[in-house]
């Protein structure tokens, strides 16, 4: 997972939750391609991804505007259509597009106490 | 992770991403208590949580309104203050409050093809 910076609201989050049918090398390759594709798109801010040993996953990508989300979705859908559809990898998935209104973060400091931060 | 139902936008998502300092039994107990606390609150719709072996986690809770989010935060903060603060468990965490505007889902069917659903 990336270092999870903050981005100054308002911005958009795409919450992608899923259960993998099978964790294959092809899945990892396709994930990496999608990540690289996203990185080159206008308005891409960052992404966080966690998957457990049981195949449950949550990937949250962050975008500056709703149009940036739409554009990326169009491009990614086209790319997936050219190759194997991403449906092949999953038992189920959900996509939620949400406008981030507030954010805060906490970081442990060397004294072990920690502090709230905004970046 | 729960079965990830859909909830009909607009509603609110609280995106909690974190890195555990150490995965302890006390952490699991506190997580369960927080989950039970949330379930009893007005406007609570559901929660999804994934954590990998490296301690990276993402928990997304869903709420009907922004006020429901605020009320739960107030109650949870008070509860944590009475006990050990949740800061003790983490190296870092981020909280993002976001308004879900759109949602869709895909489910594999018995024929392996799958379909888009709205619940």
Residue B2's pLDDT band (boundaries 50, 70, 90)? very low
Domains of chain A: 11-117 (3.30.70.100)
**Cβ contacts of residue B27 below 8 Å, gap of 6+?**
B20, B89
Query: Strand pairing partners for A10?
Result: none
pLDDT in tens, B3-44: 567 899 999 999 999 999 888 898 888 889 989 999 999 999
pLDDT at residue A84, rounded to an integer? 64
pLDDT at A53 over 50: yes
Tell me the backbone φ, ψ of residue A48, rounded to 5 degrees: -130, 140
d(CA A119, CA A51): 26
Backbone torsions φ then ψ of A50, nearest 5 degrees = -135, 135
Q: How far is B13 from chain A (nearest CA, A)?
A: 8
CA-to-CA distance for A5 and A46, rounded, in angstroms? Answer: 8
pLDDT confidence bin for A111, thresholds 50/70/90: low
Note the pTM of the prediction, 2 decimals: 0.90
**A-interface mutation test, from B16, B66, B72, B96, most A Cβ less than 10 A away:** B96
Q: CA-CA distance, A113 to A109, in Å (whole number)?
A: 6
Nearest to A98 among B19, B53, B98 (CB): B98
User: Do the chains contact at B108 and A99, CB–CB below 8 Å?
Assistant: no
pLDDT of residue A2: 45
Query: In chain A, which residues touch B (CB < 8 A)?
Result: 1, 4, 6, 13, 15, 17, 21, 48, 50-53, 56-58, 60, 66, 87, 90-108, 113-114
Contact across the interface for B96 and A103, Cβ inside 8 Å: yes
Is B118:B28 a contact under the CB 8 Å cutoff? Answer: no
Contact A15 B17 (CB under 8 A): no
Is pLDDT of B75 > 50?
A: yes
């Amino acid at each position: 997972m990336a270092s999870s910076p903050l981005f100054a609201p308002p911005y958009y989050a795409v919450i992608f939750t899923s259960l993998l049918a099978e964790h294959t090398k092809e899945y990892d390759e396709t994930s990496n391609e999608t990540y690289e594709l996203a990185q080159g798109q206008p308005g891409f801010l960052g992404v966080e991804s966690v998957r457990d040993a049981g195949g449950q996953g949550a990937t949250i990508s962050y975008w500056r505007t709703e149009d940036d989300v739409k554009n990326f979705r169009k491009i990614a859908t086209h790319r997936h259509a050219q190759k194997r559809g991403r449906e092949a990898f999953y038992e189920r998935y959900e996509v939620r597009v949400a406008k981030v209104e507030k954010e805060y973060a906490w970081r442990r400091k060397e004294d072990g106490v920690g502090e709230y931060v905004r970046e």
